[in-house]
Amino acid sequence: HSNWYLRGDIGYAFGSHTDGDWNFWNIYAAPYRGIDDTFRYDRFSLNDGATFGAGFGYRFNETFRTDATLDFMRAGIHGKTSCPSYVKAGKGFNPVEDNCNYEDSSSADIWTTMANAYIDLPKLGMITPYMGFGVGAAYVSYDDWNTREVCVGCEYQSNKNGLDSWRFAMSAMAGASYDINDQLKLDLGYRYLHVKGGKAYGYDAVDRATHTIYGDGPGATGTQARDNGFDIHTVRVGLRYELY
């Protein structure tokens, strides 16, 4: 064998919870126009999703090998935040009760490119247990976000542009491979992936406007919301093909 190998994987990523924050933009005329507050999400979740990966690697000896991989997953995103107390009061609600919420929904494409290193443990017949670690980068690309106000008599709804960002990523793996033949191995494993936080979405058209029914003033620019990253747990199955 040449010690080089190719790999391909499919997997199932379990849903996970994170958090994040977003800026509340005041559209009233100066001197009030601008960011009033920054709120933390009460709930910010990444749905279950399928994962797909491919890569190539090199085996140094019977114990140590490395590979470079590219993986992709797409999953739905949901967020929920209680309306600020002054918004509740303005609608005639009790400001301390759970009677008004903002609910957000979107989807995200998550690409990861990783450099991985593995330790293969002593073989048990045709089975080789292993553990590994990886570092690399994730590219998170959000679709447009839809936000709606959920309360009695509420009609507010807005759409915001999803944002893209490169982020640091790190992973830990464990599993076992089964020798189908001299060149082909079936790989069943678990991967924990941490993706660092980053940009989620920008401001809607009303916030970006320089003129509203409340008067002239600067429009909002930049990032309105950020997520605090993701901890993704995935079960994967794949094949490793060792080249001659």
What pLDDT sits at residue 170?
99
Tokens representing residue 216 in the block: 């002239």
All domains of the chain in start order, with CATH: 4-242 (2.40.160.20)
Residue 230 has pLDDT above 80, yes or no: yes
What pLDDT sits at residue 196?
98
Residue 30 has pLDDT above 90, yes or no: no
What pLDDT sits at residue 11?
98
What pLDDT sits at residue 53?
98
Tokens representing residue 184 in the block: 């082909």
What pLDDT sits at residue 72?
99
Which has the minimum average pLDDT: 8-12, 29-33, 139-143?
29-33
What pLDDT sits at residue 239?
98
CA separation for the pair 236, 224 (Å, rounded): 35
What pLDDT sits at residue 175?
98
Distances (CA, A) of 223 to 14, 29, 101, 159: 28, 21, 21, 14
Which has the minimum average pLDDT: 64-73, 87-96, 123-132?
87-96
The confidence band for 207, taking pLDDT boundaries of 50, 70 and 90, is very high
What pLDDT sits at residue 108?
97
The confidence band for 210, taking pLDDT boundaries of 50, 70 and 90, is confident
The confidence band for 188, taking pLDDT boundaries of 50, 70 and 90, is very high
**91-116 burial: b if 16+ Cβ within 10 Å, else e:** bebeeeeebbbbebebbbebbbbbeb
What pLDDT sits at residue 191?
98
Q: What is the mean pLDDT of the chain?
A: 94
What pLDDT sits at residue 112?
99
Tell me: the pLDDT tens digits for 160-182?
A: 999 999 999 999 999 999 999 99
Q: H/E element holding 39? A: strand 34-40
Residue 190 has pLDDT above 80, yes or no: yes
What pLDDT sits at residue 157?
92
Residue with tokens 């620019």: 221
Distances (CA, A) of 83 to 91, 146, 179, 218: 11, 16, 57, 24
How many CA atoms, within 13 angstroms, populate the side-chain half-sphere of residue 71? Answer: 31
